[in-house]
Chain A
Amino acid sequence: MSNQSESPNPTSSSNKITLKTSDNEVFEVEEAVAMKFCTVKQYFDDENNNNVTSGTSTTLIPLPNVESHPLAILITYCKKHLEIKANNADNKKEMEIDMEHYEREFLKNVMPQELTELILAANYLNFKEALDFFCRAVASAIQNKSVEYVRKFFGLESDFKPGEEEKLREEFAWSFEGVDED
């Protein structure tokens, strides 16, 4: 594997796109990165159609639903994603191994509560690979957790009538064995 990070898309290598978050942070990202965010791509394409003469990097795209903290992490993830793809363009298996390795490292550095933020941001930006990855991460994190924990995690309240829940728990009693401590 070569460590050289070539630009994944040579035709648009130098173009920068500026993103502005809800807390008024400004991020300058490469076009190849920004185009992974379908919401940004859509906006960018529309802008370009409306104003063909506008030329290069003057576009500022507002992201009113994304804070700077998750966006910074998403950009890091996206860059790495593109890099791994470019490095293993001809070997899909190799790419998956690299990606899995990176994702495992990535999760060590992310707090569980950050995952929620990240999912919301990835969802708004419509960044499919990241969304899938974060959902998988949360799924495996809560897999062995108790019902109470999951309620807290998703901010849900039990709306069962007295007795209903007990009956269900009895019915699926075997699925309550071996649950982690909260």
Chain B
Amino acid sequence: MIGASLVGRYRIGQSIKHGFRFGYVESIVLHCSDFNREGPSHAVGSKIGRSVSVKARFVGEDHETVPLSAVNPQGMAEAAKPQPHLPEDMVEEIILRQPVKSLLRFSCVSKVRHALITSPNFTKVLPSQNRMNMVVLTYDCIPQIFDYEALLLYPPQNNNKDDDDVVYDEYSEFGVDGCK
């Protein structure tokens, strides 16, 4: 392990000189506030809240590449940190891939989003499996299939809080067979 004195940028496989020894960077460990992480093939220590330690293998031994591995996957809470924002067209790409229920919920995110999601053009570019993917079981237990446009125009009414007979069921991933 190389001490903190060797501040710099390292890449796996990069040649490195330490004292009189020459070697290669073998692995890089990112230390974050609440998790440690091996690899990927490269790391930058200046990232907020992260420090990096570099493990090197010196001449005489075989150099090994460290795969992208051994990471403690953090919950999505991590993502709530400030970060570079995606351009509008990328946001749209992501929104397009949402199931109907999420789409309608996300229409409350902002005016622009609402305009996008409820625009007639948007419903046309939705992937076909997203266009008709909601089964509503009404109280007489007859499944009805609603498509996206119909849901926008006539959202299922559930004003009576005690009315448990109305069940909304998504089956977007399973096709019609998933209909319960």
Give the B-binding residues of A (Cβ under 8 A).
23, 25, 67-69, 72-73, 75-76, 106, 108-109, 111-113, 116-117, 119-120, 123, 131, 135-136, 138-147, 149-160, 165, 168-169, 171-177, 179, 182
Contact = CB atoms under 8 A, between A and B. Distances in A.
B32 to A, nearest CB: 9
B158 interface: yes
Contacts of B96: 139
A173 B158 contact: yes
A106 B68 contact: yes
A147 to B, nearest CB: 5
A135 B105 contact: no
B101 interface: yes
Contacts of A149: 76, 80
B11 A25 contact: yes
B110 A179 contact: no
B77 A182 contact: yes
Contacts of B102: 142-144, 175
A153 B81 CA distance: 8
B97 interface: yes
Nearest to B102: A143
Interface stretch (B19-27, B39-47, B54-62, B137-145): B39-47
B5 interface: no
Contacts of A72: 11, 40-42
B114 interface: yes
Contacts of B109: 147, 150-151, 154, 156, 158
Contacts of B1: none
24 contacts: A69-B43, A72-B42, A73-B68, A113-B81, A120-B84, A131-B93, A135-B90, A139-B94, A139-B95, A140-B97, A143-B102, A144-B102, A146-B105, A149-B80, A150-B109, A152-B80, A155-B83, A156-B110, A159-B110, A168-B107, A168-B114, A171-B155, A172-B105, A173-B158
A156 B77 contact: no
Contact of B80 (A158, A173, A182): A182
Contacts of A106: 68
A76 B40 contact: yes
Contacts of B9: 23, 25
Contact of B106 (A131, A138, A147): A147
A23 B106 CA distance: 36
B76 A76 contact: no
Nearest to A167: B108
Given A106-B68, A119-B90, A176-B105, A154 B78 contact: no
B86 A116 contact: yes
A174 B11 contact: no
A21 to B, nearest CB: 10
Nearest to A146: B105
Contacts of A175: 101-102, 104-105
A76 B41 contact: yes
Contacts of A112: 74, 76, 78-79
Given A143-B98, A156-B113, A68 B106 contact: no
Contacts of A156: 109-110, 112-113
Contacts of A158: 109-110
